[in-house]
Structure 1
Amino acid sequence: MSIQHACVTFFASLCLLAMAPAAGASGQGSGAHPPPIADFFANPEFSEVQLSPDARHLAVLVLGPNGRKRLAVVNLLDHGIKVVAQFDDVDVGEVEWVNPERLVLTTRDYQTAPGEQRYAPGLYAVNRDGGDFRQLAERGFAPNLSTSVYKPLPWHTWLTGQRGAQDSNVIYVRSTVYTATREVDYTALLRLDTVTGRSTAVAPPGKVRRWLLDQDGEPRIAVTRVRNVETILYRDPASGAWRQLAQFDAYLKGKDAFTPLAFGPDGTLYVSARIGSDTLNLYAWDLAANRIDATPVMALPGYDFSGSLIVGKGKLLGLRYLAERRGTRWFDQAMAATQAGIDAALPQTVNLISTAPKAATPFMVVASYADVQPVTFSLLNSETGQLTAIGASMPHIQAAQMSKQKLVHYPARDGLPIPAWLTVPVSSGGKNLPLVVMVHGGPYVRGASWQWDSEVQFLASRGYAVLEPEFRGSTGFGSKHFHAGWKQWGLKMQDDIADGARWAIAQGVADSERICIAGGSYGGYAALMGLVNDTHLYRCGIDLVGVTDIGLLYTGHWSFASDMSGDWKQYGMPELIGDPVRDAAQFKATSPIAQAARITQPLLLAYGALDKRVPLYHGKQFYAAVKQHNPQVEWVVYEEEGHGWSLPKNRIDFWSRAERFLERHIGKPGAAAKKE
C-alpha cells in the first residue's frame, strides 16, 4: 500500500498540535542550546484519540482556552468538529464510546496536586453532538449536575476499561467497596443505563477483585480473593451459574497459575501462563475441558507476554504485544499489508493501528512513537492510503535534539544476564561521559521499554549518558529473572546495578570518576544503598521518594494508613522482600537509615508530604541521620504531592535542582572529588 502523509484542512486546528519534526535525522549542533526544561515535563497536550464503533467519528481530547482538556468529536464524513464536553475547574479524563452515538467520560485535574484535590473523577455521558449531557456518578462534594430521577452513583464508581457491546445505551461500571480500615474489600459490578442513570448490581460469586467482560460485553469471568487465595470463576452463558476454573496463591502464583486476559469474538478465552516455560505465553483456555491448550497462541523468546487482542468485524485480527518495544502480529492479511504500508511511510517509528470493532468506513487511527519522539496520532484512510496528521502529545519536543536508546545486556557477577537500557547523548561521541544510573521503582515491575522518556531524555539533553538496569526481580523477562530477586533488596539486586555501571566503564561509555546513581521509590532506596555498598563507584546520589527503612514498609507511620494492603504485607512481602522477624538482621544490614553513617557522598533527597506508599517519615528520619556527618545533603519536600510529582511546576523544580546538583558533582571532568 502506498501511504501519503498529509495534514488536511478539516484538521487544521488539531494539526497545529502535530507539527513536531518526524523522528528522522539525528544530530544537534555543538553550539545549540539544549531544549528548555519545560518542554520535557509539561502535561501532554493531545491524547485519548478513539474511533467510534462504526468509525464514522473520532473522539479526541484537546486543550481549551483555559488550559483544561476538553472532549471534541470529529465527523470523519463531513469534517465537522464539535466540542461536546468541557469543565471550568477540571479536565476531561477517561473517555469511552458507549455506542456510535454516545460517549461516557470521567474528569481529572491536571492542574492540582493530590493534596489539594477535593473531588473524585465522577462519571458523565453525552451524545456525540453534545446533546443529553448527564451526570452518572458523584464527584464527592462537588455539586451534582444530574437532572435524572435516579440519584447519581457514589463517588467510588469507575469505568471498567473494557469494551462493552456498544450496541445500546448500557455499560458496566465498577464500584469499589472498602473495609473499615479503608482497604479495598471487593469490587461490585453495576449495569448502568447512560441515558436514564438507572443501575442494577450484578450478583457476585464472592468478594470479586476483578471482572472480565466477554465478546458480547457481558460479565463472564470473576476473580475473587480471600486473604492470599485467588479463585477464577466462569459464568455459564446459558444458566448464569458460576463455576470454578482454578485457584492458587494470589502473590506467589505457582506453576499452574494463569491470568485471564480477554475473550475472542468466537468466545475463546485467552490467558497468560507459563506451562513449563520460563516466560509467560498467550494460550487459549478450553472451557469445555477446563484446561489450557497445550500449544501457545503466542510466545516471545526472552519476554513475558503482555498485550491485548485486536478485534474487528467479528473476528480476531491480531495481537498487540510488548517485547523490546511494542508491536503487532496480524492474523488478517489485509491488516498486515496496511501495517507494512504505514511502516514504509514512517520507518523511524513504532506505528500502532487501532481499528473500530464495527467499522462502516475505511478510517483507522495510527499512534506513532520512537525513542526520540513522543506519541503522535494520525488518521488513515485504508482505501486511499492517505495518512492525516491530527495531533501530537508533546508538540514542542524535536526528535533531532533527542538521544537514541538501545537495549543492551551485561553479565552480573554471578553470571545472570541483565537487560538494560542505554541512552547516550546525541552528538556526544558516546565515550567517557558522565553517567546517571537510573534505577526503576517497584521493584517487581518492568522498568522501561523502547520509547521516549521525559526524565531520561532531559538528562541526555544535558550531556549525561543514562543506564537503566532491569536488575533481577524485574518482571517481563521470565520467571528465573524475577525469582532471582526475591529477598535480595540491597544484596544481589544491588550488585546487578553496580555491575551495570562497571560494564559502562569497561565499554568506554562512562567516565569512572563521574557516575551518579538515582531513582524513585525502590529506585531511591537503591540509590542510597548504592552509596553504602559501592562508595568508590558512585560520586553522588539522588533519592526521590525512596524507602529508607525496609521495616517501615510493614509498620507505616502515624500520619495516615499505607496504601499497601494488609494481605500483601502478610502474604506477599515476607516472601518477596523478607520477614520482619526472621530476616531482622538482613533488614538492618540493608536499610539505608541503619547505614546512614557510611554515606558521605553528595546527596539530593526529595519527598512528597502526602505520600502514602513511602511516607515522609522515611525521608525525615534518614535526613536527620545522614546530615549529622554529611554536609553535602540537599533536602526538598513538596507539600501537596504524594508518591511522585503530578504537577509540571514540581517536576520542573525538582529536575532543575537535579540538573544543578549533577553539574556540580559529575558535570565536568574533575568535578568529582578524587577517590580515596
Structure 2
Amino acid sequence: MAFLNLQRISCCIPILLFSLLATTPSTVVYANTSTATSLPSVESFFEYPAMSSVALSPNGRNVAMLVADKEGKLRLGVMDVVERKPKVLASLDDADVSQFHWVNNDRLVFSAGDHTIGQGNQQGGPGLYAIDLDGKNFRQLVDRSASMLTGRNSNVQGILPFNTIFYTTDAKKDSDDIYVLQLGTRNNLVNDSHRQPANLLRLNTRTGHATIIDRPGFTTGWIMDQQGEPRVATTEDGDIASVFYKDTSDEKWRKLASFNILSNGFIPEFIGPDGVLYVRSHNGGDKESLYRYDLSKNAIDPTPVVSLKGYDYAGSVVYNDKKFLGVHYETDADDTLWFDKDMQTMQQQVNALLPGTVNRINVARRSETPYVLVTSFSDVLPSTFFLYDSAAQKLILLGRTMPHIDPQQMATKDMVHYKARDGLDIPAYLTLPNVAKGKDKKNLPLVVLVHGGPWVRGGDWRWSREVQFLASRGYAVLEPEYRGSMGFGWKHFHAGWKQWGLAMQDDVADGTKWAIAQGIADPKRICIAGASYGGYATLMGLINDPKLYKCGFEWVGVTDINLMYNVTWSDASDESKKYGTPVLVGDQVKDAAQLKATSPLENAARITQPLLMAYGGSDVRVPQIHGSKFYDAVKANNPNVEWITYPEEGHGWRLMKNNVDFWTRVEKFLDKNIGAQ
C-alpha cells in the first residue's frame, strides 16, 4: 500500500529543476553547457523529463506541476504565483505522480504510475487521489489493484475499481466533483477482444460518492458544457458512429447524426462559453476544419471558424469562462490563432521576449491575476515552462523538461515536399545534422525514418529524442508523411487504403530518391528504419528496393498482415478486425494474394542487407511472435541480423535503460554500415 508524503518544504525541490528566475523584458538566453567538440550522451536524449504537466489553478493564483526529485521520481509541486515559494504537495512511496488536475481553486486530484517499470511488470491501474492545496483532506478515490471490480450500478460509494480513470473536471465554480470513466477491462490489464462502452461517472472528491451518467448507447466519448454537464456523447454500433446531444429543455438525448466510421462525418470538439457546439469536419471538402454546429438546424455552418491551407485542422482550443479566445494549431510547425485582441497583444509581447521558439500561452479559467502560462519549444529546444506577468511584461522561468539538452548542439528541422511517382504531393520533415565548419550539408549518410500508425500524422516540428539523437551522430533524417498519413486532407489519407507494401511503400522510396537527387543523401549510405508500421515499412523497403537501402533497423514492427488477424492475444478488437482492417489494410479472403505478396514474413529470404530487430516481450499491439517468426525465417539466408528482446517492454521502450541500450546498439549498427564520418 502506498502512503502519501506530505512534504511541503521548498528546499526539497531541486533548485535547478524548479527555477524561479525573474527575467527582465529582454530575450531569454539558454546557456551552452557542452564543449564544442563533445557529443551529447545517449542518456541525455532518453532521460526522463525533469518537469512536466504545468497547469494554473482556475483562479490563476497558484501553479501546479510535476517535478522530478534527485532519484528521478515525479512529485506534485505547487506554488503561489505571487509569493513564488514552491512546495511539494504530494508524492507516493512506491510510484510517480503521473498526472494531476485542478478540481477547483483549493483541491487537486492526481494519479500514479512508475516510469521505471515496463508494461509487462505493471500490476494495476493508475488509481486516483484527491488532496487540498494546504495538504489536508487527502482521499483515495480509485483502487490501483486489479483485485476489485464492481458491476454497473446507478450509485457507487467507496473506492472505485482500478479500471476507472480521470476524464475531466466539473466546470462549475467551487465544485468538488470530477468526471471519471469506467472502461472495459480490455483497455487495462485483462485482454478481452470485445470492446466495452466508456461509462461516465460524476465523482465527488471529498465524499467518494459517484453517480453513473445515463448514456445513449455504446459510448466512445463525452463532451461537457461550460456548466459542467454532459451535453454531447459519441457512440458506435458496428461500423456506424453517431453523435447525440442532450437538450437543456428536457435533458433527453437526441441523435444529431450517424455515419460510417470511415466516412467524412464530423467530430465534436468542445462547447464554448456561449453554448455553441464546435465540431471538426471536412464538410464536403478535402481538408478538415473547425466549424460551428447549428443545433436548431442539425447542420454544420457553411463557413469554417478555422481553416488551414494545405492541412487538416488539428489543435486545441483556448478559452476562459467568458469567451472562446483562440486555438493552438499545427501546420508545418505549431502556431496560435487568437480571436481576442488582448491575447494577440500578449502573444506579441511574449514572442519578443522569446524569439525563435513557438510560445504557447494558456490561461486560467477564471483568472484573478495577470499571470498566464507559457510553454516554449522549437525543433532544437525541448519544452520550457514560464509564467508570464502580463501587467509587468515579465517572464518567470519555472523549469525545463530536458535540462541536459543544449540547443546549440541540436539540428534544425524543416518541412519539405516531393512528388510521388504518380504525382501525389508528399510532405516530409528533413533534419540535417550540424557539420564541421566549412563543409556543406551535402552527400550525407541518411536515415529514412518511417512513422508508425500508419493512420496518424507522423512527424512534427518539435524536438524529437530519436531524430535529434541520430542527427547528433552525423546522420540526416527524412520522415515521410506517405499516403495514408493523416493531417493532410482526405485525398491523402484515402490514397493509402489497402496500400501496405505498395503505393505507401513507393512514397517512402520516392522520398529517398528525392534526397539523393537533391544532393543531400549519399546514395551508398542510406538506412531505412521505423517502429510498428514503420518496422513493417523498413522490412518491405529492404525487400522492394534492395539497391536503395544498405541496411535497416526496426523495432516492434509488423512482419505479416495475416498475423494481425490471427494472433488472438493482441489488443486488436473484434470490431477493428471486422470493420477497420479489411478496409484499410486488406481482407484476408478477398485480398489473400496481395497480403501474401506484401508480407515481409513470406519474403524474408529476399532480405540480405544488415538488419537490426528489437521487440518487447509484453507487447500486445504487435506481439513478439511477429519478430520471432520473422527472425527465424530471415536468419537462414542472412548472417547479418541482430535480434534483441526486452521482456518487460510493450509497444515501444518505456524504460530509460532500454532506450539507452537500444539506441547505443543503433549507433554502432549505423556506424558499421553507413558510418557518419
Q: Same fold judged by TM-score > 0.5?
A: yes
What amino acid is the match of 1:152? I
Superposed, which structure 2 residues align to 1:108-147 within 5 Å? 108-140=113-145
- The alignment partner of 1:625 has SS state of helix
Counterpart of 2:272? 264
1:398 equivalenced with 2:409 (yes/no)? no
Counterpart of 2:17? 17
Q: How far apart are 1:184 and its partner, in Å?
A: 2.8
Counterpart of 1:556? 567
Q: How far apart are 1:76 and its partner, in Å?
A: 1.7
- The alignment partner of 1:17 has SS state of coil
Counterpart of 2:77? 72
Counterpart of 1:168? 175
- The alignment partner of 1:272 has SS state of strand
What do the CA deviations read for 1:155-186 (whole angstroms, capped 9, x no partner)?
Answer: 01111146633531011111113489353310
Could you tell me whether the CA contact under 8 Å between 2:170 and 2:227 is conserved in 1? no
Identify the match of residue 312 of structure 1 among 302, 320, 326. 320
Counterpart of 2:298? 290
Counterpart of 2:546? 535
- The alignment partner of 1:460 has SS state of helix
- How many residues end up aligned between the 2 structures? 649
Q: Give the TM-score, by structure 1 length.
A: 0.93
What amino acid is the match of 2:226? Q
Could you tell me whether the CA contact under 8 Å between 1:27 and 1:400 is conserved in 2? no
Q: How far apart are 1:269 and its partner, in Å?
A: 0.2
| Counterparts in 2 of 1:432 and 1:27: CA distance versus 1, 3 Å | farther
Counterpart of 1:281? 289
Superposed, which structure 2 residues align to 1:168-207 within 5 Å? 168-178=175-185, 181=192, 183-207=194-218
1:216 equivalenced with 2:227 (yes/no)? yes
Counterpart of 1:253? 263
CA distance in 2, matches of 1:465, 1:192: 51
What amino acid is the match of 2:292? A
CA distance in 1, matches of 2:193, 2:507: 37
Q: How far apart are 1:82 and its partner, in Å?
A: 2.2
1:579 equivalenced with 2:590 (yes/no)? no
What do the CA deviations read for 1:629-670 (whole angstroms, capped 9, x no partner)?
Answer: 10000000000001100000000000000000000000157x
Q: How far apart are 1:597 and its partner, in Å?
A: 0.8
| Counterparts in 2 of 1:320 and 1:668: CA distance versus 1, 3 Å | closer
What do the CA deviations read for 1:105-152 (whole angstroms, capped 9, x no partner)?
Answer: 1111111111112121001100011111100010015999xxxx9420
Identify the match of residue 251 of structure 2 among 240, 258, 262. 240
Counterpart of 1:33? 38
Counterpart of 2:660? 652
| Counterparts in 2 of 1:395 and 1:299: CA distance versus 1, 3 Å | same
1:46 equivalenced with 2:51 (yes/no)? yes
CA distance in 1, matches of 2:11, 2:318: 27
- The alignment partner of 2:466 has SS state of helix
Q: How far apart are 1:18 and its partner, in Å?
A: 7.0
Could you tell me whether the CA contact under 8 Å between 2:244 and 2:255 is conserved in 1? yes
Identify the match of residue 157 of structure 1 among 154, 157, 164. 164
CA distance in 2, matches of 1:142, 1:133: 23
CA distance in 2, matches of 1:268, 1:208: 22
1:368 equivalenced with 2:376 (yes/no)? yes
Identity %: 50
CA distance in 2, matches of 1:235, 1:530: 50
- The alignment partner of 1:184 has SS state of coil
Could you tell me whether the CA contact under 8 Å between 1:188 and 1:201 is conserved in 2? yes
What amino acid is the match of 1:625? A
Identify the match of residue 487 of structure 1 among 460, 474, 498. 498
Could you tell me whether the CA contact under 8 Å between 1:28 and 1:426 is conserved in 2? no
Could you tell me whether the CA contact under 8 Å between 1:309 and 1:318 is conserved in 2? yes
Counterpart of 1:56? 61
What amino acid is the match of 2:232? I
Counterpart of 1:476? 487
1:466 equivalenced with 2:466 (yes/no)? no
Identify the match of residue 421 of structure 1 among 418, 429, 443. 429
CA distance in 1, matches of 2:95, 2:507: 44
CA distance in 1, matches of 2:555, 2:268: 35
CA distance in 1, matches of 2:672, 2:28: 34
Q: How far apart are 1:498 and its partner, in Å?
A: 0.6
Could you tell me whether the CA contact under 8 Å between 2:427 and 2:482 is conserved in 1? yes
Q: Which runs of 5+ in 1 are unaligned?
A: 1-9, 670-676
Could you tell me whether the CA contact under 8 Å between 2:412 and 2:431 is conserved in 1? yes
Counterpart of 1:90? 95
CA distance in 2, matches of 1:523, 1:650: 19
- The alignment partner of 2:162 has SS state of coil
- The alignment partner of 1:643 has SS state of coil
Counterpart of 1:346? 354
CA distance in 1, matches of 2:454, 2:93: 39
Superposed, which structure 2 residues align to 1:625-664 within 5 Å? 625-664=633-672
What do the CA deviations read for 1:229-275 (whole angstroms, capped 9, x no partner)?
Answer: 1111000112111100000112x123xx1000000100000000111
CA distance in 2, matches of 1:25, 1:193: 46
CA distance in 1, matches of 2:423, 2:374: 41
What do the CA deviations read for 1:293-344 (whole angstroms, capped 9, x no partner)?
Answer: 1100010011111122211241111112111122111111111000001111
CA distance in 2, matches of 1:119, 1:142: 9
Could you tell me whether the CA contact under 8 Å between 1:61 and 1:72 is conserved in 2? yes
CA distance in 2, matches of 1:562, 1:453: 28
What amino acid is the match of 2:16? L
| Counterparts in 2 of 1:528 and 1:203: CA distance versus 1, 3 Å | same
1:333 equivalenced with 2:344 (yes/no)? no
1:610 equivalenced with 2:624 (yes/no)? no
Could you tell me whether the CA contact under 8 Å between 1:83 and 1:130 is conserved in 2? no
Q: How far apart are 1:361 and its partner, in Å?
A: 0.5
What amino acid is the match of 1:336? Q
What amino acid is the match of 1:286? D
Q: Give the TM-score, by structure 2 length.
A: 0.93
- Aligned CA-pair RMSD: 2.2
CA distance in 2, matches of 1:276, 1:665: 49
What do the CA deviations read for 1:353-375 (whole angstroms, capped 9, x no partner)?
Answer: 01001000111110000000000
Q: How far apart are 1:23 and its partner, in Å?
A: 7.8
Greater shift in the superposed pair: 65-74 or 93-102: 65-74
Identify the match of residue 499 of structure 1 among 504, 507, 510. 510
Could you tell me whether the CA contact under 8 Å between 1:215 and 1:263 is conserved in 2? yes
- The alignment partner of 1:594 has SS state of coil
Superposed, which structure 2 residues align to 1:95-106 within 5 Å? 95-106=100-111
Counterpart of 1:4? none
Q: How far apart are 1:549 and its partner, in Å?
A: 0.5
- The alignment partner of 1:511 has SS state of strand
Identify the match of residue 531 of structure 2 among 486, 502, 520. 520
CA distance in 1, matches of 2:571, 2:330: 28
Counterpart of 1:588? 596
CA distance in 2, matches of 1:642, 1:347: 39
CA distance in 2, matches of 1:34, 1:358: 46
CA distance in 1, matches of 2:561, 2:536: 9
Q: How far apart are 1:533 and its partner, in Å?
A: 0.4
What amino acid is the match of 1:447? G
Counterpart of 1:674? none
